[in-house]
Structure 1
Amino acid sequence: MSQTYLSLTVELPEEESEAAQDLLHEGNALGLEVRDREQPTMPGVRAPAPGEALIVAYFEDRETAEAAQASIAESFPHARHGLEEQPQQDWSEQWKSLIKSVQVGRLWVGPPWEADKAPQDKVRIVIEPKMAFGTGDHPTTSLCLAAVDTFMATRPGATVLDVGTGTGVLAIAAKKLGAGATVGTDNDPTSVELAQENCVDNGTPDIDVSGRELTQVSGTFDLVLANILANTLIELAPLIVAKAHGRLILAGVLAHQRQDVEDAYRKLGCTVLEGAQQGEWVRIDLDKR
């Protein structure tokens, strides 16, 4: 890494903060600093305006930072944003403090530095977050983990496809809870590499993780998981539905986006089941026979 890095500061309404954070994660931010009413700022640190959140995303190179800025500008046209060159600092320990372990059903999911805290009666999954999204502590991931836990409790041996696998946490959870053939796909090479490492580290090296397109994945699956953004879920709906012959679990959807996503999958023959919600994030459960 050079002696400087790029910081992208984004100011926008608080209700759009989590979606913007997801977009910045997908844009390969090295780390995020979020300032809002739930996180009081330190003395001398600029606080966000009332009703707004301030997000600072860090990038290693200008090309990646500018691409992320363009994505923010397109998705959040009213957001204020700016790029700055910053001297290199050791912010890694602060970043680590933002990643927490979670317990969902039979599962404990957390980063390596919290692994010793895992209860003995839980199925332990250790996730190295690095630059891929999905460590368990985000509402969308927690919602999906709960669905995986419930589904696998009655369907041992079920086949599983995890679309946009990120760190691989959902595929690993399914496998450790008794899934049969398990496949993960992601179009980000960094995520694929990290997910493969996480699979090996968690004793599930037989999970098939790759950057293949969905059209290149053979067969259909009992459980299809897709924790990605709403617009991508709608865009990929025909391909995702084509891989399912049972349950579909969709996440990465804000409450106001639910209807559009559900409609896209209803048109393809899916039955909408009762899902779940955590804060502004919803999980959509579907049946495809």
Structure 2
Amino acid sequence: MRTLLRVDITVPDTGDLAERVEAWLAERAAQGWEETPTDDGAAVRFRVHLEDGPPARDFAAAVGEDWPDIPVALDTLEEEDWGAAWKEFFTPIAVGGIYEILPPWLADTDTEGRAPILIEPKMAFGTGHHPTTALCLEAFAACAATGRLVAGKRFLDLGTGSGILGIGLAKLGLTGVGLDIDPQAVWCAAENLRLNAVDEAMSLAVGGVGAVSPEAVFDIVAANILAAPLIAMAPRLAGHVAAGGVLVLSGILVEQAPAVAAAYRATGLPEPETRTSGEWAVLAWQ
């Protein structure tokens, strides 16, 4: 049984401090985190779970070095205890009017006609609770409503994490591939694909956009990563979108959205549709 390191970062809810810590985590905690207010409402607690070992300890040390005035608490627990904690935290959520995100132990929940997405909350980013993920699913729902996403089309899910975005597209009848540079994320995504019975509709591989054949094009390309790499890969990523296709980019702070949009306009794309949730934005080209 694995031992996990739990890192609790308690950030006073003053100014934009919590937003800056969240942006810092987005670059260093690809497996995701829990974000809840403290009981008195005076602070926000960010909780990260990592397999205990040198990388996890380095992460904890980096928190202390970069945020010396913020309280950080470390604890270790067995994986089964961590799973029990997730059962208390993970609640079903409806997204975009067409999806219902559920943990496996609530698989029998009546979703009232919405497509169920079952996500095993392990060590990969993407349970649907974070705005970057939910915004992408909302963009998919909007595209489906206008007929831009229909069964039989092909997708690329770059930075697949838990596989949730690819699963959402597969639930609409699309087929495609999910890529992630983190082997652990790909392992988690494979389990979630099996849970959702879409493992034949979506293949997985370890890698980034460089792993995609230069001539390959997709009807929809989704990338929930970070602003800087999205800007850097703009010419390559835009080139993988088929004529008349859809591009959805997330993992972008609101203040970063103009720079990301400009990088893709430079490839010949028009101005994107922008959706926001709190400090996060998603850019979508239909």
Give the TM-score normalised by structure 1.
0.81
1:104-146 Cα distance to aligned partner (Å, 9 max, x none):
2211111112222242412111111200111122111111111
Aligned to 2:252: 253
Aligned to 1:136: 128
Q: Aligned residues: percent identity?
A: 35
Query: What does 1:52-71 align with in structure 2 at a 5 Å threshold?
Result: 53-69=44-60
Tell me the CA shift for residue 183 of structure 1: 1.1
Tell me the CA shift for residue 79 of structure 1: 5.6
Q: Is the 8 A contact 2:117 2:168 kept in 1?
A: yes
Tell me the CA shift for residue 274 of structure 1: 1.9
Query: What does 1:206-217 align with in structure 2 at a 5 Å threshold?
Result: 206=200, 207-217=202-212
Distance in 2 (alpha carbons) for counterparts of 1:15 and 1:63 = 27
1:140-160 Cα distance to aligned partner (Å, 9 max, x none):
111111111222341312211
Matched, 1:93 2:84: yes
Task: Evaluate the alpha carbon distance shift between residue 6 and residue 194 of structure 1 in structure 2; reply closer, same or farther with a 3 A threshold.
Answer: closer
- SS across alignment from 1:271: coil
Matched, 1:221 2:218: yes
Aligned to 2:160: 165
Aligned to 2:20: 16
Distance in 2 (alpha carbons) for counterparts of 1:59 and 1:213 = 22
Tell me the CA shift for residue 24 of structure 1: 5.0
Distance in 1 (alpha carbons) for counterparts of 2:176 and 2:63 = 33
- Residue type at the aligned position of 1:274: E
Tell me the CA shift for residue 184 of structure 1: 0.8
Aligned to 1:176: 171
- Residue type at the aligned position of 2:51: E
- Residue type at the aligned position of 2:19: E
Aligned to 1:113: 105
Which of 185, 194, 205 is the equivalent residue of 2:199? 205
Give the TM-score normalised by structure 2.
0.82
Tell me the CA shift for residue 20 of structure 1: 3.9
Q: Is the 8 A contact 1:149 1:177 kept in 2?
A: no
Distance in 1 (alpha carbons) for counterparts of 2:88 and 2:284 = 32
Number of residue-to-residue matches in the alignment: 270
Stretches of structure 1 lacking an aligned partner (at least 5 in a row): 42-46
Task: Evaluate the alpha carbon distance shift between residue 262 and residue 83 of structure 1 in structure 2; reply closer, same or farther with a 3 A threshold.
Answer: same
Aligned to 2:14: none
- Residue type at the aligned position of 2:249: L
Q: Is the 8 A contact 2:158 2:208 kept in 1?
A: no
Aligned to 2:266: 267
Stretches of structure 2 lacking an aligned partner (at least 5 in a row): 12-16
Tell me the CA shift for residue 53 of structure 1: 3.4
- Residue type at the aligned position of 2:75: Q
Distance in 1 (alpha carbons) for counterparts of 2:74 and 2:273 = 47
- SS across alignment from 1:209: strand
Tell me the CA shift for residue 243 of structure 1: 1.2
